[in-house]
């Protein structure tokens, strides 16, 4: 893992994609890890009856999709670094439920560089997540502070 400097990063830089399974076991593990035990994610019988999203099956957590999108940046640059690098903010919108069994692919790109002064400069990374059929399931804007 190598965190770049603010000066060396170019807009348009593309991160390695993150691919995450949304099989029921992965959703179950996320439910316990996050303590979001809403039955729409874990209870297949209830989900079939309630059809919260008009679907007779469970769906992945939006927060799991947010996490997958965030991991695009943190797996490349780290959650925090010894040199002041750190993720500051994540804003995510969810555009389509992720059905159980999907494979989500998240891709990110540096959109802009924000010159706030030494020790405070940061870049905006836009991450998009798609399901197995290529439909957009989420978009995130991630603020990441980089060393000078």
Partner 1 sequence: MPIPERLHQYVSTDKQQHFPKDFLSDWQHYETWDQATVGQSGPAQRVFEITAEDIIAYNVACGETDPLMIDPERAAKLSPTGEVLQHPIFVTAIAFYSLGESGIGTWIRTPGARNPHQDIEVFEPFRYGERITTTVTTHDKFMQRGKPYLQMKLDFHNESNVLKARWYCSLILPASQDDVARFANA
Q: What would you measure as the largest C-alpha separation in the chain, in angstroms?
A: 55
Sequence-ordered list of residues with C-beta below 8 angstroms from that of 101, at least 6 positions apart, any chain = 22, 23, 24
CB atoms under 10 Å from CB of 1, counted, come to 8
Nearer to partner 1, 10 or 25 (CB): 25
Between 36 and 128, whose beta carbon lies closer to partner 1? 36
Cα separation, 146 vs 60, in Å, equals: 32
3-state DSSP assignment of residue 41: helix
- For residue 69, give the 3-state DSSP assignment: helix
Residue nearer to partner 1 on the CB measure, 74 or 121: 74
Task: By CB under 8 A, name the binding residues for partner 1.
Answer: 1, 18, 20-21, 25-26, 28-40, 42-44, 46, 49-50, 52-53, 61-64, 66-68, 70-71, 74-75, 78-82, 86-94
Residue 9 or 18 with smaller CB distance to partner 1: 18
In sequence order, the 6+-apart residues with CB closer than 8 A to the CB of 55 are 47, 97, 99
Nearer to partner 1, 10 or 80 (CB): 80
Q: Are 98 and 104 in contact (CB under 8 A)?
A: yes
């Amino acid at each position: 893992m190598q965190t770049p400097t603010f000066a060396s990063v170019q807009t348009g830089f593309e991160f390695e994609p993150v691919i995450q399974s949304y099989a029921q076991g992965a959703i179950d593990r996320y439910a316990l890890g996050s303590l979001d035990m809403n039955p729409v994610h874990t209870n297949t019988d209830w989900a079939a009856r309630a059809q919260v999203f008009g679907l007779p099956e469970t769906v992945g957590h939006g927060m799991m999709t947010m996490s997958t999108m965030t991991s695009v940046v943190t797996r490349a640059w780290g959650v925090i670094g010894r040199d002041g690098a750190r993720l500051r903010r994540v804003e995510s919108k969810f555009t389509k439920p992720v059905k159980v069994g999907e494979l989500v692919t998240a891709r990110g790109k540096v959109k802009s560089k924000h010159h706030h002064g030494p020790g405070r400069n940061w870049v905006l990374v836009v991450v998009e997540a798609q399901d197995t059929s290529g439909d957009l399931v989420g978009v995130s804007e991630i603020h990441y502070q980089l060393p000078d």
